Chains A and B, each alone.
Chain A
Amino acid sequence: MNKWLVALAACTAFAQDPRQIVEEVQKRAQSKSQQYEGTLEVVDAKSKVSTKRWEYSRLGAFGSSKSVLRFTAPAEVKGVALLVHNHPDRSSDQWMWRPAIERDQRIALQDRSTRFFGTDFSYEDLEERDVNQFDFKLLGEETIDGHPCWKLESRPREKKVSQYAYSYLWIRKDHYIYAQIDAFNKAGLARRIKYSDVQDVQNIWTARTIEVFDAAKKSRTTLKFEKLRYNVPMDESAFTLQALRRAS
């Protein structure tokens, strides 16, 4: 789930082949490690707002990273932590540390349409998109929020299991970062994800605000990154179950 940030980074290029465009997006987003404090705001159909905060750190690059996410607010979830080990060849291992019962537990997120901790993201939305699992088609060029973009269509290949039938991707021509993704299932538009507040962080162009709109539930989740830094020196031993237990 750390992978999803990779998709947020972008840089400039001039490839015209849709597949190359996406590959370039991935390439520009790469970093050795990452750290930030995130704020999540969920606004549901009845305008009820709930907020969560966490600290995040990732070590390692695309495909074999390890990451820790630790909730800091609200009070009742403070201390709950998530440890993820990504593997290039198989699905990730995930554990959770639960201070209230003082134990860790393995969690299996096999169903990727499941919503991520009460937000409008599904686990699938937050996964890194492996270029090889999709077919891309360039549909044209459009402007999103004043930025010229390529509009691509992506369809999962046969082997790939996805909750979506297809998605439209808008990728900014200037920095090779996503500007917007519309994901469709059989019933129509399922989710719209918008990327904004794009800044250059240590030479990686990064959207610092991501907004998801769930078309079915009519609710909206905003994720903001603070204190975002790339390539921070980190110790491998911080990404183990023992470390998780110690830190609480």
Chain B
Amino acid sequence: MTLLRLISFQYVRKHKLRWLLTLAGIVLGVAVFVGMHTANQSVLRAFHQTIDRIAGATQLQVSAGEAGFPEEALEIVQNSPDVRIAVPVIEASVNPGRGNLLLLGVDMTGDRSLRDYDLENNNDDAIDDPLVFLAQPDSLLVTRIFANAYGLKIGDKLPMSTMAGPRDFVVRGIMQSGGLASAFGGNLAVMDIYAAQKMLGRGRRFDRIDIAVREGVRVEQAQERLRKLLGGGYLVESPGARGQQFESTAQIYSLVSSITSMFALFVGMFLIYNTFEIAVSQRRSEIGILRALGATRRQIRTLFLGESVVAGLVGSLLGIGFGLLLARGIAAYVGAMLSEVYGVAQNVEDVAAEPWLLAAAITVGTLTSVLAALIPARDASRVDPVKALQKGKLQLIGQGENMRRRIGAIALFALAVGCMSMSHIRPLFYLGYLLAVMSAVLFAPTACNWVTRTLRPFLKWLRPVEGALAADSLIESPRRTSGTVTALMLSLALVIALGGIARSSYKSIQDWLVIALNPDLFVTTNETLTSRSFVFPPEIGEGIATIAGVDLVQMVRTVRINVRNTPVMLVCTDIASVARKAHLPPREGNPDTLYNEVAQGKGVIVSDNFALLRKFKLGDVLELPAPDGTLRMPILGIVTDYSDQQGSILMDRKVYIEHWKDTAVNVFRVYLDKPSFEPAVRARIQEMYGGRTRLFVFTNQDLRAYILKLTDQWFGLTYVQIAVAVLVAILGIVNTLTVSISDRKRELGVLQAVGGLRSQIRGTIWMEALAIGFTGLVLGFVVGAIQLYYTLEISRTDVAGLRLDYQYPVNIALVLVPVILGAAWISALGPAESAVRGSLVEALEYE
């Protein structure tokens, strides 16, 4: 400990910048780890919190997927002898202008028995007397937070666009903060459920029934009996259970985040390894003195490991700080995505990590740091005190160790290939992935050496002195270089993989768009196409069909239903008509009979990603929960369809209406006689319905642009990755060069003494940096190819079910070349300056 304070602290103080840069590695890794997991946890917590708070005293909930169920179910439930209270609920996320608002439609005559609305100033008139809501359907209870955000007080009007046209709602009460009012981050409004039906175009349907069971009846008992009473189409579960399936999806995101943070930590590990290697070589004489003064090998090793622990702790703490900041952004993204999928709106209000996560982060960060320092610490302990005190050539990396590492790399690679052949066993697949990465890491120094050796003649040809010296500097000190190159390699591999996946999916989605989304106009209830809160009555579609110039209107109803406990998109439309208009060849199934049979209700078509993710084959029978009981439908075809990330099921609209008793429509697909009619038809639709309902008309181009914009967000992620790679490159290269310069101080001094100009000294350092960057690029491109394979596999089987072609992202690779070389050059600027500014006398001096 004293050693640590006396020796290490001084050293760190002298090399503040380098240590900070190195810590950045750990910071990055831990930040990604903490950020991703905290975001997941926070979203999950917010989700549960919203469910809990909205649930109030609810013990059981009856639901039937997104389409809801006819009102009659309420009567059945209310008449059950097990039920004390049963109240209907509609829950929808709407946007009245400034962000999402969770709209809770309730029946005030009974709802207060389950939920406590807790109005401000004890002004409970609005809810004590259900007549306020019953007689005035424009009544709204809002939270204090929402009231403040919109500057509302009691009696104020809040205009909202509804399926019955624009309407003014009146604030009749403001809920105090806390409890129900803090659900969905406080962005909550309560209105009469029947008014909500009208507003959202839902017809006589509810989303849910909240139940409290009669005293003396066990909840499980009541649940069992209600299930029997309602049949297989209904879900009867405790409010908490709603969170469970959500958790399973969140787990997939945890997996993805774990992989990403593992990579980040790997990268961080190499940056730290690099710094420690460097520290050991720089402090060789210091170590020599310590050893000469009687320090044991063990003490030296402990000294360095102690430093790594401190570095790890500091890095982890900083990482946690950044991670929590990062989490906020990620949480918003994941939250939006999951609430879309699960229809449970949540709003991540407080992003806070759980203690165990922080403990894990510190452990992982510190462990990474210690692991990274193991080899350098061992090297330090092996420093020969006599040799160390003579200033001269450094001890080089042992040939034997190189050999062992190469053999290890080959063995791991062989194992990885073995695992690949058994990739249907998922743990083995992931093990193989890990082994492949490890193998690449072990092989990196050797590969790095090969590349720089190959590079030497070229560099020498370019600049006989500077080039040769730059290459030699890399070849002679593999440890100085390989850490940086490995870090760079890993982070570039990630860029390549992500870029590859973006490129493939972009292309597939574009192809699909052209074939499947070919109507001229799309009429929807929402400006964002994914929101399904509002629905149309079919009459509007019939009306649109009568407009001159309209060839055909296809009504599409999309609802999420639960299949095997995962939410899947059910897409219902006139299959025969779609088959006529969009020539989408099925991936599997008989193209001649398929559409006819599905149109007759003999089965369904599923999307490729559904089949892949849920492991269904052609001919399998799906059990679909419909309000009138479980509907069994064989899979007659599998098509490429990117409608939904979780997979989609295509069913004929007639079948849907028959079983779900729901005629609502989400989208009208409108085909025109001639494309040139588009402006006229569009104007006519607006004229007919614009003031009467909530309606948005998109042209085909609008829609494609919208979908491609969503896809572009993938590219956004790629850019973030590129930024990280650049950061890693800069960190590592600055580090390596700083040491390279101090190691080669003498050499550079000689160079100047025999007549090297400053520009020539700079040149050699720049070339060294570019060579590091180049080597990193070469290795990164190779490992990226492997990484891309695994990423595609993971996304195909475990995350998205997208069957994407393996396409190497050549364009991104080409962009990376100047970017990374540029970053390398920029990182070389500082070190190069410090190299030419140093005192020549000192450089040439002897001790």
Residues of chain A having any CB pair with chain B under 8 Å: 50, 52, 71, 76-80, 96, 98-101, 103, 105-111, 113-115, 117-118, 161
Contacts and interface: CB of A to CB of B under 8 A. Distances in A.
The 3 closest A-B pairs by CB, nearest first: A118-B129, A111-B113, A77-B135
Contacts of B135: 71, 76-80, 98-100
Residue among B75, B83, B128 having the largest count of chain A Cβ atoms under 10 Å? B128
B252 interface: no
Given A98-B137, A101-B137, A103-B194, A108 B110 contact: yes
B84 A98 contact: no
B620 interface: no
Range of interface residues on B (Cβ < 8 Å)? 20 to 34
Contacts of B74: 106, 108
A99 B134 CA distance: 9
A114 B125 contact: no
B128 A110 contact: no
A55 to B, nearest CB: 15
A111 B84 contact: yes
A225 B107 CA distance: 29
Contact of A111 (B110, B134, B198): B110
A109 B131 contact: no
A96 B137 CA distance: 14
Contacts of A108: 74, 78, 85-87, 109-110
A132 B128 CA distance: 32
Nearest to B121: A46
Given A115-B128, A117-B131, A107 B110 contact: yes
Given A101-B198, A105-B194, A161-B215, A114 B110 contact: yes
Given A108-B87, A114-B113, 5 more contacts: A50-B125, A98-B137, A105-B107, A113-B113, A115-B128
Given A98-B135, A101-B198, A118-B129, A110 B215 contact: no
Interface string B81-100: 00111110000000000000
A57 to B, nearest CB: 19
Contacts of A161: 215
Nearest to B195: A101
B546 interface: no
B70 interface: no
Contacts of B134: 77, 80, 96, 98
Contacts of B71: 106
Contacts of B215: 161
A106 B85 contact: no
B129 A109 contact: no
B654 interface: no
B131 A80 contact: yes
15 contacts: A52-B131, A76-B135, A79-B135, A80-B135, A96-B134, A98-B135, A101-B198, A107-B110, A108-B109, A109-B110, A110-B85, A111-B85, A115-B128, A118-B131, A118-B132
Given A100-B136, A101-B194, A107 B125 contact: no
Contacts of A78: 135
Nearest to B109: A107
Contacts of B112: 114
B130 interface: yes
A79 B71 CA distance: 24
A132 B94 CA distance: 52
Contact of B136 (A76, A106, A107, A113): A76
A117 B109 CA distance: 8
Best-surrounded residue of A50, A107, A108 (most CB of chain B within 10 A): A108
A113 B87 CA distance: 16
Contacts of B198: 101
A106 B87 CA distance: 11
A65 B671 CA distance: 59
A111 B214 CA distance: 10
A100 B107 CA distance: 15
Given A107-B109, A108-B110, A77 B131 contact: yes
Nearest to A80: B135
Nearest to B136: A76
Contacts of B128: 115, 118
Contacts of A107: 107, 109-110
A96 B71 CA distance: 15
Contact of A118 (B86, B113, B125): B125
B757 to A, nearest CB: 88
A50 to B, nearest CB: 7
A105 B133 CA distance: 13
Contacts of B137: 98, 100-101
Nearest to A106: B75
Nearest to A105: B194
B363 to A, nearest CB: 51
A152 B354 CA distance: 60
A71 B131 CA distance: 10
Contacts of A113: 113
B89 to A, nearest CB: 14
B83 A110 contact: yes
Contacts of B132: 76, 118
Nearest to A48: B125
Contacts of B85: 108, 110-111
A110 B125 contact: no
A161 B137 CA distance: 33
A79 B129 CA distance: 16
Interface string B126-169: 00111110111100000000000000000000000000000000
A217 to B, nearest CB: 9
A98 B86 contact: no
B75 to A, nearest CB: 6
Nearest to A112: B113
A206 B219 CA distance: 45
Contacts of A101: 137, 194-195, 198
A110 B78 contact: yes
A234 B459 CA distance: 110
Given A101-B195, A103-B194, A109 B109 contact: yes
B68 to A, nearest CB: 16
A117 B129 contact: yes
B402 to A, nearest CB: 79
Nearest to A45: B122
A50 B113 CA distance: 23
Contacts of B195: 101
Contacts of A80: 131, 134-135
Contacts of A77: 131, 134-135
A52 B109 CA distance: 17
A77 B71 CA distance: 24
A95 to B, nearest CB: 11
Contacts of B109: 96, 107-109, 114
A110 B125 CA distance: 21
B110 A110 contact: yes
A79 B75 CA distance: 25
Contacts of A111: 84-85, 110, 113
A110 B194 contact: no
A158 to B, nearest CB: 11
Contacts of A98: 134-135, 137, 194
B112 to A, nearest CB: 7
A156 to B, nearest CB: 13
Contacts of B129: 117-118
Contacts of B75: 106
A48 to B, nearest CB: 9
B217 to A, nearest CB: 12
A118 B195 CA distance: 21
Interface string B193-228: 011001000000000000000010000000000000
Interface string B265-288: 000000000000000000000000
A188 B684 CA distance: 68
Contact of A110 (B84, B130, B131): B84
Nearest to B164: A101
A106 B109 CA distance: 10
Contacts of B78: 108, 110
A117 B215 CA distance: 25
Nearest to B127: A118
